A and B are shown apart, each in its own frame.
Chain A
Amino acid sequence: MPDAPDEAALSPELVELLARIEGYPPLDAETIARIAVGATNAVRAVAAAATVELFDTEPSAYAAELERLADGG
């Protein structure tokens, strides 16, 4: 995780609003900041890694892929 969220990170206000919409009780500032950093980093990694292959990819292919790529398999 970075030392601090940058300007493009999820804002505390947005995290607070999402939490409220989703029915969570009020969060303290530190929790909100942690959630903002964690979620921002996660979503950024997804955006950086996503490719056109996903258009034709079924998530449930994962287990079968493990078996297909098995040692000696």
Chain B
Amino acid sequence: MLDLRAASLGDAVAALARGELSSTELTRACLERAHRLNATLNCFVRIEDEAALAAAAAADGARAAGRPLGALHGVPIALKDMFYAPGQATGAGSRLRHGFVGGVEATVRARLRAAGAVNLGVLNMTEFALGPTGHNELHGACHNPWNPAHIAGGSSSGSAAAVAARIAFGALGSDTAGSIRGPSSVNGVVGLKPTYGRVSRAGAMRLSWSMDHVGPLARTAGDLARLLGVIAGADPADPTASARPVPDYGALLGAGVGGLRIGVPEQFFLEGLDPAVGAVFEAALAALERLGARRVAVRVPLAEHLTELGRTLMYSEATALHGHFLRHRAPEYSAQVRARAATGLAIPAAAYLEALQLRPVLLRRFVAEVFGACDVLATPTLAVTVPTIAATDVGGSPAMWRTIAGLVRCVAPFSYLGVPALSVPAGFTPGGLPAGLQLVGRPFAEARLLATAAAYQSVTDWHSRAPPVS
């Protein structure tokens, strides 16, 4: 039997192909682990035993019959509570949408199904994806597998925790201001926010149509490549999805980093960094240099404004989307999420439009100035060590705001720009919680980011260390 604590998604695909185990056996093992660990982690809001075992049996049947098999054939994964499917409740982590059944199947969900993936169930998330900590009043907070007293991050809390805890081999999340990369960093997994438009959002809960990205989480860059290859590409149901061909990400993974220029920001991103996070970052850069990469200093134009420019879009669009709920069902929000969803009511339309207009201008400037000097930009994923749940649940205190700011400081700017950004496990801080390295590329440079992360993972073992939950 495959060792769930050690195996990657790629290992699972290979073991299934070799006939060492069936998808049914593998799915049963993952479901058993899901039920056992969910009591501690609360990463699932619903575990779908019956549907998962039926999908696994169908996958085994297809294999036995010699039918064509997809890239994820028979492999257990799980999805954040925001990807619609006919007949299935998708609650977006909220009371307001609790029990809501979408009329369509999310494109990414359909693509995973077509590739043979087995869905274990629905993963916990921050209410309406509006927050970086993983708190959820309806379902309860998702807990960090490395230490359940600490946050699992947000908003894709369950996605990262389930992958880190070796329950699911991969997961889908969404990233509007860091919601894939933050949780990936705090749980010690790899997570990718693709370029805006690289992955369809059709059938996914919307928070901010200008800022929402859907992306994968897994334990290795190779696993991310496999998942991205399945979900990326044009989609008639999403006019913002790019028609650009999808590269064979797996084939490009071995590109290495010899001669690669790694840009390190000389301002903003490293200011006020927790020293333990800074030490992890420096060690990660040193590892890349030993592989042949060259470190260069870069300036990120207007870095100090990018997060708030993105929030201008996110708040305005979220308030527009939530207008009916905010006017008529406001008490059903948690207090923090209600305030975040309503912030757009005080942002003038002209400011929103200026932030939209600035986006192509600043993207041009960013690519010219940053990627004129380097090939991949590197930052820590988070500026702070992983906080406790208690420290981020103290309603509006200055300390909480500082912590929240540290959670999004390095990730949110790249959601506004829409460029691809990936978090890869880069070590642990003295408390034993993971810390990530963020790699950022020019538009549609996912293959380069994945290859850089793969090279880094070839000489480090952070990603293969399993959390103490068993």
A interface, CB within 8 angstroms of B: 1-4, 10, 14-15, 18-19, 22-25, 27-28, 30-31, 33-36, 38-39, 41-51, 53-54, 57-59, 61-67, 69-71, 73
Contact = CB atoms under 8 A, between A and B. Distances in A.
Nearest to A66: B443
30 contacts: A15-B346, A19-B346, A24-B327, A30-B335, A34-B339, A38-B311, A39-B315, A39-B344, A39-B346, A39-B347, A41-B311, A44-B308, A45-B308, A45-B309, A45-B311, A47-B351, A49-B309, A49-B362, A57-B358, A62-B356, A62-B360, A62-B418, A63-B197, A63-B240, A66-B196, A69-B364, A70-B444, A71-B443, A71-B448, A73-B443
The secondary structure that dominates the A interface is helix
B141 interface: no
B351 A69 contact: no
A59 B359 contact: yes
Given A31-B342, A39-B347, A49-B362, 18 more contacts: A1-B404, A15-B345, A24-B342, A30-B339, A34-B396, A38-B340, A39-B345, A43-B312, A43-B348, A45-B308, A45-B311, A48-B305, A51-B358, A62-B356, A63-B240, A66-B195, A66-B443, A73-B443
B460 to A, nearest CB: 25
A50 B418 CA distance: 19
B443 A67 contact: yes
Contact of B354 (A10, A19, A27, A46): A46
A42 B360 contact: no
Interface string B333-372: 0011011101111111001011111111111100100000
Interface residues of B, number: 58
Given A24-B327, A54-B361, A42 B347 contact: yes
A11 to B, nearest CB: 10
The secondary structure that dominates the B interface is helix
A42 B344 CA distance: 10
Given A3-B401, A38-B343, A45 B312 contact: yes
B361 A53 contact: yes
Contacts of B348: 43
Given A15-B346, A30-B335, A35-B342, A49 B358 contact: yes
